[in-house]
Amino acid sequence: MVLQRTEWQHRRDRHRARVDDLIGPYLKERRRGRKHPVIDFLFTYYASRPAHVLRWHPGPGVVLEEGEDYLRLRGYQRVADGVRVDPAYVATRVGALAATEALLRATASRTARLGCFGLHEWAMVYRTSDIRHDLPLRLGSAGTDAVVDEMPLRCTHFDAFRFFTPAARPRNETELSRERQRSDEQPGCLHATMDLYRACFTLAPLIESDLTLDCFELALRARELDMRASPYDLRSLGYEPVPIETAAGRAQYVREQSAIAADGESLRSAVAERCTQLLEQVRRDAREQPITGE
């Protein structure tokens, strides 16, 4: 598929406009050096940059007419009709593609669990004065500890569990580890859904930017619920709390978590399928390589 310059530039500009609609004000404040305890996570924790969201990639199999600017980026090559993702570069990412595919398909194979109520953030400040954000706790330290004391911890995501305080870790129903991650991940987890964005940008330019931005938008929704249900008071930033210490708050959390999990199901399938297609293409290319020598 060859995209004429006017067409791919239109798609690129449309992509950037969509990013601006999502986080334009945030990016302006970020350029001024101002921090944001909710949105920063999608960049600082994931070691991502705004460029990963802003930059438009067409995905493999698409040739950009007069797309020489893309030759400055990793993974592109010049061909007769323009510039495209280099199949040889795709072959260098087989390990990452296979690992991503395996994790996403294992996660998708399980039933969503919706009873964690976002308590992982509470477990990170349980019985400690070393809180992770420069924000007040809605219930104070004693009130926060009391919620954890009264409710079971059912976290299934190792990258959240590893930040639990020493007092909270034994309270989780499962001792999580990196080695068990593929066995423990499940599609109801907000962080497993946020990780779809990481999967996309770490595989760039092998994942088209429309899909990456879909995953980023869902990650943003998941992160907002993550923090609204946390022990922190974010009302000064315009975020109303989801008070999971109450029955009504837990019901609200499950409703919003369920909607995010449902949207994550289709995106998880799409990212996994891209990985599968690329791995199959690499295998086909390897079989078709001419045999040299005697």
199-233 residue pLDDT tens: 999 999 999 999 999 999 999 999 999 999 999 99
Euclidean distance between CA atoms 71 and 55, whole angstroms: 14
Question: CA separation (Å) from 55 to 9, 73, 153, 225?
Answer: 12, 11, 39, 26
Neighbours of 283 (CB within 10 A): 12
Spans of all domains in the chain: 87-288
pLDDT for 101:
98
* Cα–chain center distance at 261: 13
Token pair of 230 as six digits: 């946390």
Residue 188 · residue 113 · CB < 8 Å? yes
- Go through the chain and tell me how many residues it has: 294
Q: What is the pLDDT of residue 257?
A: 98
Instruction: Give the per-residue pLDDT at 293.
Output: 43
Give residue 290's pLDDT: 57
Q: What is the pLDDT of residue 134?
A: 84
Residue ranges of the chain whose pLDDT lies below 50: 291-294
Write down the pLDDT at residue 203: 97
